[in-house]
Structure 1
Amino acid sequence: MKRNRLVAVVMTSMVVAAGAGWLAGSQIQSPAEAAAQTAAPVPSPILVPAEMRELSTDIITRGVGRFGSPHTVSLAPSALKPDRGIVTSIADEATELDLGDVAATVSGRPVFVLSGDVPSYRDLGPGVVGVDVMQLEQSLHDLGLDPGPVDGTYDSQTGAAVAGLYQTGGYEPVVVTSRTPDLQPLFTALVEGADFGAGILLPADEIIYVSSPPVRLSEVLKEPGVSGEGDLLALTDANIAIDSSVPIESAGLVTKG
């Protein structure tokens, strides 16, 4: 009986030892097996809806704003007036002056801003022909005043439009009538081509021409109470220019506009 019990114990021990050996063997991994189990999984495609959009890059830089170089303005002498008059008012500095605006008054008479490259140099009236008349007519047309054909000939339609310019600003135009016969021979003698009876005159000192209105009054050179002769004011372009720079490696990313 004791012998049979001993055999059973020995057999049981052998089974337990074999099981323990198998369990230990199953827990042992080679380096290749361990690496395979810890490696990242094979990536799979990730799908998202396609979008159409503009790609841009913001480049921030610093600059200095400035107006254009100023140029001084003086009034042309008028043969219709005995002297250069006295400045009675002038627009404030930094004022933007557009087509048809009054920049100043001299002896109570307006000085209108008109568009043109030829400076005012003579009095205008019926019968006068020239480029200066044509740019006057163009300015009047741009202001909505009908000067008739823009042909460089000052006729009655041109005069009517000039009268409209003055009246719009609240001023009376210079008119030659039968009651002002002294102006007729004076104007005819002084202005080549003039030949008229009654009509509207435009004194040379009551207009200034600028190439591209609006402009900015950058400096007042005369105060009210002094003679209108000489430089009256300084004007600049009303647009602001920006002086700036960008790194050379970013220059290719910058486009006009």
Structure 2
Amino acid sequence: MFSFDLGKWIIKLIETSNSYFTLLELLNDKDAFNTYFNKKTVYDSTVQAHINITNSKAREMFKESTYNDVQHALDIYSNQLIVLLATYIETINSEFFQAVFEQNNRLIYDYVSQSDNNKGLINLNLIFDYKSKNEIIEQLIIKAKKNIVNGSLKKISERILKTTKYKINDKLISSLQIGIFDKRNAIVHESKSIIVKQEDIHLYFQLIDKYLLELGKACLKSNTNYYDPTNLLQQ
């Protein structure tokens, strides 16, 4: 039976965080930048070769331009990190509900249809296309999982409460929605560039850690299978 793997996500978050802040430290290291820039050349079409800039004023302008390029790349990466963190949460939710549904198949009923007016409605081809009850249930879980994670994080938290009887802190849900999902939507759907501070990224990782803990508690409340090798729920 599928278990909600807290350990896997803790490791993934640590690795992602470490990678980001290591890169940030490197890009903000003036000595490292100077070493890189001193090796940098430009292509001169008149001689059809890469050359060093010897004019001091031109070299300073080129250095400033190069530094701005590096910072712009960091801004892009920081924005894409927000997109990635939103995707992490969506996948975490999907895996969480898979564990919930496998523990209690009857919970599938409310979510196999996209419409609240057609709860429990399924395509009869499921019965004809699959040989066993377990195969049919597996396909229904895939459908239900897709539907239950659709919508805002607030709606999803309400469904967590309905299926597990565990209520996640409203302030945490609001912070994740505003801090990560609203920004993700602006970046992806409106092509906006968001100003992201280092402390913001630290906060986002902390919020996801807290959210994982809440989902673990929801597993405990609903007797859903989970895997917690780091003993997160015992802390």
Task: Name the TM-score, length of structure 1 as normaliser.
Answer: 0.23
Between structures 1 and 2, the one with greater strand share: 1
Task: Name the TM-score, length of structure 2 as normaliser.
Answer: 0.24
Whichever of the two has the greater Rg, that structure is 1
